[in-house]
Amino acid sequence: MGERIQISASVPAEMDGDRLDQVAARLFPDYSRSRLQAWIKKGELLADGKQLRTREKVVEGMELSIDTEPEEVVGWQAQDIALDVIYEDEHIIVINKPAGLVVHPAAGHADGTLVNALLAHAPQMAQLPRGGIVHRLDMETSGIMVAAKSLLAHGDLVAQLQERTVRREYCAVCIGVMTGGGTVNEPMGRHPKQRKKMAVLAVGGKPAITHYRVEKRFGHHTSIAVNLETGRTHQIRVHMAHRHYPLVGDPTYGGRPRIPKGASTELVEVLRGFPRQALHARALGLFHPETGEEVHFECPLPEDMEQLLAVLEREDPVIASDDPLY
């Protein structure tokens, strides 16, 4: 079965008094709740070295630890799917994910995912939680991702993500002209009525922090660089829509394409035909799990976003502030 899974985390103040199984699910998000509950019952997930029941309360500062044998992934098939590998060694693999590729098998996407491709590329990753995946990109978001190839790397990368030391930069194209950059610090969670969507929540949301800066203003659009402190599902898309600057090509949070008045035929075609949210993960920085060395990786913009920006440059020039936008 390979190396044992040996990881731990301390209970933060905001989880003081919560149930053990609920806290474990939040501190160890790469494992299913049912698996965590099984480990609790078997005494493989301990609190301060003691076995508790799943419903018992934990307190701030308690050390939750897992020490168990890894379980081989069942039902995930290795598939020969091309990978754009940016960097690889025995512990990590950094890839440039194309838009349209699902990261992880789930309902509606049982195969043909990044995990299936990784299992063909490096079969030992089948021994790791979630096939080595430690963070995700939406299916239609392109760009750079890191995955673990060893248990050492998996535990270390998960800890780095929890401690917010992984640096992620994205390029996005938004609808509307921004006056400047800023920070969105708004908690997020599942939309209360539309369960497939995420939303900013005044009550019950998890912390979500997005920093952005303007890179290029157009007549009716803005290209921005985005840095994440947290990694909530759809975070950039939700936060920018919350600021009334939804992403081009994002009907889920931005509605139908917005066509500027007097737009050229080319601009109309590009805005109506852009096939996905205009979002690309272009840079990733982290500490190498084995050496501790700070490493940085980048990948170029894909062709569709290059074309979008080129058309905006030509066909959506900056206009006077008193001209109508739409």
CATH 3.30.2350.10 applies to domain 85-163: yes
Q: What does the pLDDT average to over 84-93?
A: 97
- Which of the four pLDDT bands, split at 50, 70 and 90, describes residue 3? low
Percentage of the chain beyond pLDDT 70 is 94
CB atoms inside a 10 Å sphere around CB 183: 12
* pLDDT per residue as tens digits for the range 207-240: 999 999 999 999 999 999 999 998 899 999 999 9
CB 28 within 8 A of CB 36: yes
Strand (E) or helix (H) holding 173: strand 167-175
pLDDT attached to residue 290: 93
Closest by CA to 157, choosing from 292, 313, 321, 267, is 292
pLDDT value, residue 322: 47
Backbone dihedral angles phi then psi of residue 288, each to the nearest 5 degrees: -60, 130
Q: Using one digit for the tens of pLDDT, what is the confidence trace for 35-73?
A: 898 899 889 999 999 999 999 999 999 999 998 876 654
H helical segments located in 124-247: 151-163, 235-242
Residue 79 pLDDT level (bands cut at 50, 70, 90): very high
Q: Which CATH class is domain 5-68?
A: alpha beta
User: Where does the pLDDT of residue 34 fall: very low under 50, low under 70, confident under 90, or very high at 90 and above?
Assistant: confident
Q: Which of 16, 67, 89, 138 is catalytic?
A: 138
pLDDT for 325 equals 47
Does 74 have pLDDT greater than 70? no
pLDDT of residue 71: 60
> How do the domains of the chain map onto residue ranges?
5-68, 85-163, 167-315
Residues 4-33 have a mean pLDDT of 87
Could you tell me how many helices (H) and strands (E) the chain has, helices first?
A: 8, 14
pLDDT value, residue 202: 87
User: What pLDDT does residue 1 have?
Assistant: 44
Under CATH, which number does the domain 167-315 receive? 3.30.2350.10
Of 292, 300, 13, 52, nearest in space to 152 by CA: 292
pLDDT given for residue 319 in this prediction: 65
Residue 138 falls in the annotated catalytic set: yes
Confidence (pLDDT) at 203: 86
Residue 95 bridge partners (DSSP): 85, 145
Domains 5-68 and 85-163 fall in the same CATH topology: no
Rounded alpha-carbon distances, angstroms, from residue 11 to 48, 55, 160, 165, 235: 10, 15, 16, 19, 25
HSE (side-chain half, CA atoms, 13 Å) at 81: 19
Query: Which residue in the block uniquely carries the two structure tokens 């394409």?
Result: 257
Instruction: Please report which residue ranges of the chain form alpha helices under DSSP H.
Output: 20-27, 33-42, 114-121, 151-163, 235-242, 251-254, 265-273, 303-315
In this predicted structure, what is the pLDDT of residue 162? 84
- Confidence class of residue 104 from pLDDT cuts 50, 70 and 90? confident
> Does residue 191 register a pLDDT over 80?
yes
Res. 276: pLDDT tops 80: yes
* pTM score of the predicted model: 0.77
Q: Which residue reads 């996407």 in tokens? A: 109
As a whole number, the mean pLDDT across the chain is 91
pLDDT computed for residue 107 by the predictor: 64
